[in-house]
Structure 1
Amino acid sequence: MTKKETFAGFDGTELALHRMGEGRPIVLLHGLFSSAEMNWIRFGHAKQLAEAGFEVLMPDLRAHGESGKPHDPAAYPPDVLVRDAMALVEHCNLTDFDLAGFSLGARTAVRAVLAGLAPRRLALCGMGLEGLAGWDKRAAFFIDAIDRFDEIKHGDPAFFAVSFMKTMKVDREAARLLLQSVDDTETSELRNVDMRTLIICGDKDRDNGSPDKLADALPDASTAEIPGTHMSSVAESALGDALCNFFLDDAAD
């Protein structure tokens, strides 16, 4: 059973938090234009972790899901999602916890660790080395999709992005502002992400670059391959399996 509550983001914006299970806390950060429900709950990953003995904490990121979607540019400073992650950790009084993120959530998790968040273990899903930098180009693709939202037809490179935005009923003004707030991580910074880390990627997912190169750039990392593309891998039960195996193995250490 999922419990819902709200907490205040860095600036007081009301953000949604979904909780499931009891035990060791694990924070899950979803991907761009998605939500806790779509990324973690719908396909059973959260339930699997909860049944394995974890308390699963799943925020809807700012401008996503059931969270606030302010239209004031001041609500989207650089690394705003990192600031909100810090606010979540403070709200839940977390001192000993694990952290995982998918795609944008993985980028946010890395940035949060570099900003001082200290999970015991870290899982980065749908992420490769190249995906941690070059955000301006990626953001420009999605901003163009927002600008051409009503014109895009099947066959356009942005068609699937727009279709997903429609499915998720994305607030395009808030999304545009958020897209401009994400900061890059340089490869040299990754030496400071020194907790045990697992990179989980679909076998047909290289949207964010090479998971193997990312593992090589981190001090203590390994990879796990699951079926699927960037979009489809999140629906695979293998994602929940990989997360459980990693964090349960850690709990036994």
Structure 2
Amino acid sequence: MLHGFLASAETNWFLPGIAAAVAATGRRVIAPDLRGHGRSDAPTAPAAWPRDVLAMDQEALLAHLNLKDYDLVGYSLGARTAVRMLVRGARPRRLVLGGMGDRGLMEAGARAAMFEDSIRHGDAAQDPRAGRRVHAMMAAGGLRPEAMLGVLTSFAATSAEEIAAIDVPALVVAGQRDDDNGSVEGLAGMMPDARGVRVPGDHLSAVMEPALAEVITEFLKD
């Protein structure tokens, strides 16, 4: 289970009860903090942030644990990372993409530019409200701005053809007021075996909605 940008496994999966709900179905939950986040290392050197490094980290974790039979669940940045893993050859049994739409995968630079502006300029960002929110989230999570900028530089866009080649059963889910990363329904329609679902909330609040835990656990039980 891969968390979102400026978040952690604790805030996205454990505090909302999603990890516990999945574990209650008899599954083992593995929820790492992504590079730069939570209790993981937060390097600031540019060399530590090559393209697709977050996906490569998770590939290394799968290899270290010798995991061959697993489901892959991601929210926002975690969903982007999960897709990059599949593009690079990962083959989970089932895939859950939370808080992610078509535009967020195919136009990696647009949202990254907004975050970069917010991280660098705070109140003076083009969108001051976003700048204040991003700085508050970094402060709450003890996140290093240089590391968060590193995350952004590692982003890679995913083409429509690459998305269409993702043929594992997939659930694409987001809040009813969440189109931050484009269309959930559009993304689901691009994959041969995916369905789009909406739950209450927006991009930040949907993880706290019991409905999100319910749709994820139900999908993984099939």
Shift of 1:220: 0.4
Deviation at 1:131, TM superposition (A): 0.9
| Aligned-partner Cα distance in 1 for 2:130–2:57 | 31
Question: What is the match of residue 57 of structure 2?
Answer: 84
- Corresponding position of 1:186: 159
Task: Say which of 166, 186, 192 aligns to 2:139.
Answer: 166
Give the whole-Å Cα distance in 2 for the aligned partners of 1:119 and 1:46.
18
In the alignment, the residues of structure 2 paired with residue 197 and residue 149 of structure 1 have an alpha-carbon distance, to the nearest angstrom, of: 36
Quick check: 1:121 aligned with 2:81? no
- 2:155 is paired with a residue whose SS is coil
1:149 Cα deviation from its structure 2 partner: 3.2
SS in 2 for 1:29: coil
The letter of the residue matching 2:135 is V
| Structure 2: segments with no counterpart, 5+ residues | none
1:149 aligns with 2:143: no
1:164 is displaced (CA, Å) by: 1.6
Aligned equivalents of 2:198 and 2:118: distance in 1? 30
Matches within 5 A, 1:193-212: 193-212=166-185
What are the superposed Cα offsets for residues 73-110 of structure 1, whole Å, 9 maximum, x if unpaired?
Answer: 11111000010010110111101110010011101101
Q: CA RMSD in A?
A: 1.6
- Whole-Å separation in 2 of the counterparts to 1:215 and 1:112: 17
Give SS of 1:148's match: helix
Q: What percentage of residue pairs aligned between the two structures are identical?
A: 43
Kept in 1, the 8 Å contact 2:105–2:158? The answer is yes
* Whole-angstrom distance in 2 between the partners of 1:133 and 1:235: 27
Question: Within 2, Cα distance between the matches of 1:30 and 1:72?
Answer: 23
CA positional deviation for 1:134: 1.7
Cα deviation digits, residues 126-163 of structure 1 (max 9, x gap): 111111022222112111112113657x9634322222
1:219 aligned residue (192, 208, 215): 192
- Name the residue aligned to 2:106: 133
Q: What's 2:69 paired with?
A: 96
The CA deviation at 1:178 is 1.6
Relative to its length, the structure with more strand (as a share) is 1
Letter in 1 for 2:206: S
Paired position in structure 2 for 1:23: none
For residues 3-18 of structure 1, what are the structure 2 equivalents within 5 Å?
none
SS in 2 for 1:156: helix
Matched-pair contact (CA < 8 Å) for 2:124–2:131: no
Cα distance change of structure 1 residues 146 and 103 upon mapping to structure 2, 3 Å threshold: same
Match of 1:145, SS state, is helix
1:29 maps to a residue whose letter is L
The two structures have a TM-score, normalised by structure 2, of 0.96
Give the counterpart letter for 2:4 in structure 1. G
Higher relative contact order (CA 8 A, sep 6+): 2
Structure with the higher helix share, 1 or 2 = 2
Tell me which stretches of 4 or more aligned residues in structure 1 moved more than 6 Å. none
SS in 2 for 1:58: coil
SS of the equivalent of 2:118 reads helix
Residue 175 in 1 paired to residue 144 in 2?
no
Q: TM (normalized to structure 1)?
A: 0.84
